[in-house]
Amino acid sequence: MACLVPAGPADRSESDDERMTAAATAVLQRRLDGDSHRAAILRVSASHALTPAEVQRSWARKKRAALCDLTVGRVVDACPWTDAEVTRLARIFSGLRAQL
């Protein structure tokens, strides 16, 4: 028997969470492709129909989830991070250690 969950704010939050993670993942991919942070935010804003402020907020809240998503994709595709990508990731995430 299926468990029925009433539609409501929880459903909306989940889709918002997924949307934020997708935007953050796209920002990280753009950064790995060589875009500056600002350029990545603007490109993702245009491609995901979000304001730059929404994309920036998504990045701030979901950057770790974005890294996990991209890493899982790499494992599934048997395509490990290159040395250049690891170097870029280290630069992108360098300030996070102090926040943990």
pLDDT at 64 (0 to 100): 95
Tokens describing residue 44:
């993702």
pLDDT at 97 (0 to 100): 53
Provide the mean pLDDT of the chain.
85
What distance in Å separates the CA atoms of residue 39 and residue 42, rounded to the nearest whole number?
Answer: 5
pLDDT band at 6 (very low <50, low <70, confident <90, very high): very low
Q: Is there a contact between 56 and 84 (Cβ–Cβ < 8 Å)? A: no
> Could you say which DSSP state residue 82 is in?
P
pLDDT over 50 at 68, yes or no: yes
C-alpha closest to that of 95 among 69, 72, 64, 58: 64
pTM of the model: 0.80
Tokens describing residue 91:
């630069």
pLDDT over 60 at 80, yes or no: yes
